[in-house]
Structure 1
């Protein structure tokens, strides 16, 4: 069985809408996101070892994502009943209950639409196998971050939260700042190169100039 290849989603594109069965019933993607951010991520299949550890970790951090107005949505390639049995197993293994839905992408329609598949790997039916893709999608439905992990490498949940924090603080300050390497909330940020020095002094009076092209500034703790 083959799946038609469609253009992949790319950074800055509008995330395609879709309707699908999930572990929690039918989902309309746009209605599910609403006015929230969304972390949308894929798995190659149910009852796979690395995926089980990942879903348990995301479930444990669900409250952290909620505080950031970000909904979680997983995708795997099995039916609803199999999803729900697997999720019960994950709760027993990890101690964390998965309360967000998992898309049932049995025909690979959605994973192909989103470019989540690895065309070098096919299952026994000739269907492409999704890799570990990660998309952060903002409330306007724009794709703001893409990560792709091979099947052998589990995701880093702390890094995904860090990226969400970065995107949100940059948006809050109307993209007048950027975040440097290994930035976490509370660290200094980079003043945008698009701001001239007088404007930088006005907006960030405590900034310091390392080089004309590299200016760092602390942020107000409430930012």
Structure 2
């Protein structure tokens, strides 16, 4: 399956470290970040799960739920949590899916449809594409997809930045420019005509080119 931006995020039932969930029901009216890792007890992911736990209050403040995924039994992730806490200073404080039958990994296009067998017999390298991040909106649509190589730790501060942009542009008819940070100037969306823009931004805008209309962040 090829998952694309704007599509409905596939729903599923799964066991997690915090009990069984139905994904769409678990999201509810919130935003959500689903991030995956290829196996328990892998070094780069150990740092990632610990860091995500440390910044979870920032996601909470934005109304974003966090959920991890491992192609591993839940009990392996629960054992791994001790290592994460001891080496990173924070244990996972969010659920982690035990995707032992590869259902979620296949639904989200991270593993091929013909993958089967014992997940604990697979090496992390065989699950290399299970290094992805999905941001999902309250409408259950996929808003962002990122896939990283196994040797590069993910930048979850960047995920927060993107969430800020997504939430802003969902409420206002603007887009965010390169390297935008919360509070910076924004760009009037191309879908807004000049005539309509004048009714919204009554003080006008700065336009180095007619198609680049810059205004303060709403």
- Any runs of at least 4 consecutive aligned residues in structure 1 with deviations exceeding 6 A, and if so which? 121-124
Q: Per-residue displacement from partner, 1:95-142 (whole Å, max 9, x unpaired)?
A: 1131111000112121011112379x9988468514311100001110
Q: Quick check: 1:131–1:150 contact (8 Å CA) kept in 2?
A: no
Partner of 2:38: 44
Q: Per-residue displacement from partner, 1:35-82 (whole Å, max 9, x unpaired)?
A: 100000110000000000001111011000011110000000111211
Hey, what's the Cα distance between the residues in 2 that align with 1:65 and 1:181?
A: 22
Tell me by how many angstroms 1:203 deviates. 1.3
**Structure 1 position 197 matched with structure 2 position 211:** no
Partner of 1:213: 211
**Structure 2: 5+ residue stretches without partners:** none
Hey, what's the Cα distance between the residues in 2 that align with 1:190 and 1:60?
A: 32
Partner of 1:180: 177
**Structure 1 position 75 matched with structure 2 position 69:** yes
**Structure 1 position 56 matched with structure 2 position 53:** no
Q: Quick check: 2:72–2:120 contact (8 Å CA) kept in 1?
A: no
User: For 2:19, what is the secondary structure of its paired residue?
Assistant: coil
Hey, what's the Cα distance between the residues in 1 that align with 2:196 and 2:98?
A: 50
Partner of 1:31: 25
User: How many residue pairs are counted as aligned between the two chains?
Assistant: 211
Aligned pairs (5 A) from 1:148-159: 148-159=147-158
Hey, what's the Cα distance between the residues in 2 that align with 1:124 and 1:100?
A: 23
Hey, what's the Cα distance between the residues in 1 that align with 2:120 and 2:171?
A: 47
Cα–Cα, structure 1 residues 83 and 126, in superposed 2: closer, same or farther, change >3 Å? Answer: closer
Tell me by how many angstroms 1:25 deviates. 1.7
**Structure 1 position 108 matched with structure 2 position 107:** no
Tell me by how many angstroms 1:199 deviates. 2.2
Hey, what's the Cα distance between the residues in 1 that align with 2:188 and 2:54?
A: 34
Partner of 2:3: 9
